[in-house]
Structure 1
Amino acid sequence: MSDQAERIKSRRTQLRLTQREVAARVGVTRESISQWEKNSNQQLGSHNLERLAKVLQTTAAWILTGKREKATTSSNVVPMHSKNVESTLMEPLLNEHAEKGTSSADYRIPILAVTASAGHGAVVLSEETTAYMEVPRAVLRAIGIEPSPHLRIISTRGDSMMGTLGHGDFAIIDVSVREMQDDGVYIFQLDGQVHVKRLQHLPGNRIRVISDNTLYPSYEMDETDNFQICARFLGRWAFGRM
């Protein structure tokens, strides 16, 4: 099926869902769903794309390209053996989606040997590459990310950023960002541990650290030598199944 609009409509009818039901679950109007099913050039936006994929029990990649998400383990890709990576989570996913060679429509992003904590902190961020993941360029651009040599992928642990990042999700990050540019979600080191949190500038060189999961209280801290920005969070990559 070559048309995005056709894929959306076909999957919806396959699941026996009405446009109104899909709209309610995605959080948009029925008219929006109707437009998505008529116009393949309609821009969904990253938030709507992810929610639509979840409602349709598929992936953003399939909606945009008709292809399932995949990662390669070809001969020029480093196998994942580092103990710092949650290999029990990541290796089965890579193996399941593995195929020989790469497509020119895909962009290869290094996976770093660290798990960023959306909780109480993980080990220090490492520049060691444990594997590579092939991400469709169309998916990257749909969520506002341009292919760049500064892109990296890390896995996440914990539920304090639920709504933005869930346990076991892959975070696409920009490691060229080493200071707060503005308020947003960053990967940072504090007292030797790596965190992923939403950061907000406050007067007096203070920072508010915010968890998107309201069960976790926010807190404030000074910009000290023990605090270092490692990267900025750009988007989430979560494997789905048809």
Structure 2
Amino acid sequence: MGIYKILKTAILSLFFIVTVFSCKPKKAQNENLLLSKKNQLKKAFRYPNYLNKNYILGKFDYMNSNNFVIVPKDLSNKKIYIRKEVLVAFLKMQTAAKEDGISFKIISGTRSFAHQKRIWDYKWNSKYKDLPPLERVQKILLFSAMPTTSRHHWGTDIDLNNLTNSYFTKGKGLNEYNWLLKNASKFGFYQPYASKKEGRTGYEEEKWHWSYKPLSQLYLKYYNEHISIEDITGFDGSKYSKNLQIINKYVHGINSELK
């Protein structure tokens, strides 16, 4: 009986050892297979062919790009270009808004590096010229992006109806803003520079600025992977971009829905 117990114990032990060691390779194989699939998916992902550093920095000719169109005159106050996909989505949103007695006009769209630099240079050389350089940069950054960091470079972001927050706090403007807050996301649009009450960094709130998420989120991903602080150059005050953490606090200082 003693020998039987010993043999039984030995057989069970051997069975346990064989089972454990036979399972480990399978587990390892499964883990390797999962890792392989993840790598394959990662390799399979490709950005659109047109997307490159010049595009994301606003250094391309969007006016002669087949991907961009002019906003119809009745929906803008000047000649404005945006991406085709953005206009299609905006037209759908405009149609829905009209049913509720709301109307929108695009007052700013795509801006090249050169265009953004003209805005920056005006504020640097004229509007805030009496401030010390660092204070001047910080003052400009309340509402204007450094060239190479503006979302308006991408053709995905639009400014609507008025460029002052106060307009959207009463009467007609308040009705427009409330409609956007309730409905814009249905058409892919989000307010990148929403209230800073929840800790958002960077630019001040801009109730007029709306971004088309299906594209801008992709472009932000590309920006994060390909653009560094060394790319933020070519204009007065650019040397302060590192100390002010322009990418972390401003490029990323957006509504979490767009990240």
TM-score range, shorter chain: under 0.3
* More strand per residue: 1
When normalised by structure 2's length, the TM-score is: 0.25
Highest Rg: 1 or 2? 2
- Whose relative contact order is higher, 1 or 2, with alpha carbons under 8 Å and at least 6 apart? 2
When normalised by structure 1's length, the TM-score is: 0.26
